[in-house]
Amino acid sequence: MLSDQERRVVTLIDKNCGEVVEYVRKLINFKTVTPPFEATEEEDRDANKKFQEFIYETLKEMNFEPEMWEIEPSKLEQAPGYGVMADRDLSDLPVVIGKLKGAGKGKSLILNGHYDVVSPGELENWHHDPFEGVVEDNKIYGRGACDMKGGIAAMIKAVEFIQRAGVRLNGDITLESVPDEEGSLMGTLACCQRGYKADAAIIPEPTDFNTLVAMRGYLAGKITVLGRGGHAEITQPHWKEGGAVNAISKAVRIIQALEDLTEEWRTRPDTQHRLLDPNHIVPTVIHGGKWAISYPEKVEIQFTSNFIPGTEYIQKEIEERIMSVAATDPWLKENPPSIETFWAYGAEIDENTPIAQTAMEAANDLGVKSKSVGMGSLTDGVHLINYSKIPTISIGTAEQTAHGANEFVDIDELTALTKILALSILRWCGHS
Ligand SMILES: [Zn+2]
């Protein structure tokens, strides 16, 4: 059931949803593509600054106290459970924070959104310019439409419509517009380390309107397997007599060990979760060999692994498994593979936590079904939950086209999200 004031805000959003659409289109126009890790093309970071200046101005007009600042990755301390990429270049990718003071005695809320978007990929797969924000068939098309400029627009406009309805919130709002979620997650980490706190946080990432309460952690790694060079057309003596060793053949054993681990984790009790898929490890990139008639001397295997919160020990398990398989092979025993890993923790909150209940009830009261769900990969929520100890959820529109060609946000869904966020804010922060 909606109160009279809630109904007033919701009606205002329904009547003026065209404003939210125009705002999303404007945000899509800024080409705020996440910078690649290896600079390959001319990048233009100017759009990021312009985007944030635009958000800054919006927040100022709404009586927020905004501030804009640059992240210095080398000054980020180690987060618990996260390898900070201290050499990641985040210059000209500013953060904008806006604080809106409430009347007092209400619960505070962080609204967080990442403004970086993944590369549009092959342009010929798009029916429209990915940065034009074309509206067709009641959808807004563009890179970032659902992931997550639609979410950023909805969270800002939700507050604006509350203000326009003449409702004063009791609790404080902190709005965070952050870079590099698709890259290093250090935008939100920097906010956490600066000490922004609240009683809860919402990140309107696309979730098909479900309430995201659990995310798997992430472990990336590279395994280097060594062989010994030699002419491939000449029969080689035993390696103990100086013969060649095929690094590809040795790497096969390591890859098989990774496959075996995934198979074990599929059913092992400690890697099961009520909302998440079990742990897995996937070899994703392989480099090896230089010449068709030479024994390959070196193979590099990259892998990605996702793991449920609380099983961080699999990092050690993976290393131990590789080493124990290597120990069964005389060459690998003497020339063990080397392993480099990089990892980020997963996170979860109790699905009965008040902010999750508030959002789910808000959705249900507006006729939108929402249930608690988990996600196989992670979002900026991991830092808010683990580092800042803030109960954090995500709720947003359909996620099907995120990162794909012809990404879109449906206008009815965008309006529904704006209403759900407005209702959640009103109920969480309290109002007069
Ligand atoms: Zn996202």
Quote the CATH superfamily of domain 4-215+346-429: Zn peptidases (3.40.630.10)
* Residue listed under structure tokens 């790497």: 251
CATH 3.40.630.10, the chain: domain bounds: 4-215+346-429
Structure-block tokens of residue 129: 């310019």
Strands 347-348 and 95-100: unpaired
Average of per-residue pLDDT across 176-185: 95
Q: Is the pLDDT of residue 292 over 70?
A: yes
Predicted pLDDT at 86: 84
377 CA from centroid of ligand 1 (Å): 11
Q: Residue 39: pLDDT above 70?
A: no
What sign does the CA torsion over 321, 322, 325, 330 have? negative
pLDDT, average across residues 257-265: 97
CATH number of 217-344: 3.30.70.360
Predicted TM-score (pTM) of this structure: 0.93
Ligand 1 centroid to Cα of residue 32, in Å, is: 13
Distance 230 CA to ligand 1 centre (A): 48
Rg (CA), the chain: 25
The average confidence (pLDDT) of the chain is: 95
Distance 49 CA to ligand 1 centre (A): 19
Query: Closest Cα to residue 147, out of 425, 398, 422, 419?
Result: 398
Alpha carbons 147 and 203: distance in angstroms, whole number: 11
207 CA distance to ligand 1 middle (Å) = 10
pLDDT band at 83 (very low <50, low <70, confident <90, very high): low
- Other beta carbons within 10 angstroms of residue 349's beta carbon come to 21
Q: Check residue 81 and give its pLDDT.
A: 65
Whole-number Å distance, alpha carbon 322 to ligand 1 midpoint, is 33
- Say how many Å lie between the CA of residue 153 and the centre of ligand 1: 14
Percent of all residues in the chain with a pLDDT value above 70, rounded to a whole number: 98
CA of 57 to the centre of ligand 1 (A): 23
Where is pLDDT greater, at 62 or 35? 62
Specify which residues 231 forms β-bridges with. Answer: 294
Q: How far does residue 362's CA lie from ligand 1's centre (Å)?
A: 22
Q: Name the band, by pLDDT with cuts 50, 70 and 90, for residue 79.
A: confident
**Considering the chain, what percentage of its residues have pLDDT values greater than 90?**
92
Q: How far apart are CA 68 and CA 393, in angstroms?
A: 25
pLDDT at residue 229, rounded to an integer: 97
User: Could you give the dihedral angle defined by the CA atoms of residues 306, 310, 316 and 318, in that order, rounded to the nearest 10 degrees?
Assistant: -30
The answer to whether the bond into 155 is cis (omega within 30° of 0) is no
pLDDT tens figures, 275-287: 999 999 999 999 9
According to the model, what pLDDT value does residue 41 have? 61
Q: Does residue 148 have a cis peptide bond before it, meaning omega lies within 30 degrees of 0?
A: yes
pLDDT at site 36? 85
**Span from the CA of 4 to the centroid of ligand 1 (angstroms):** 34
pLDDT of residue 342: 87
CA distance 406 to 403: 9
Q: Where in the chain is the domain with CATH 3.30.70.360?
A: 217-344
pLDDT score of 139 more than 70: yes
Spacing, Cα 225 to ligand 1 middle (Å) = 35
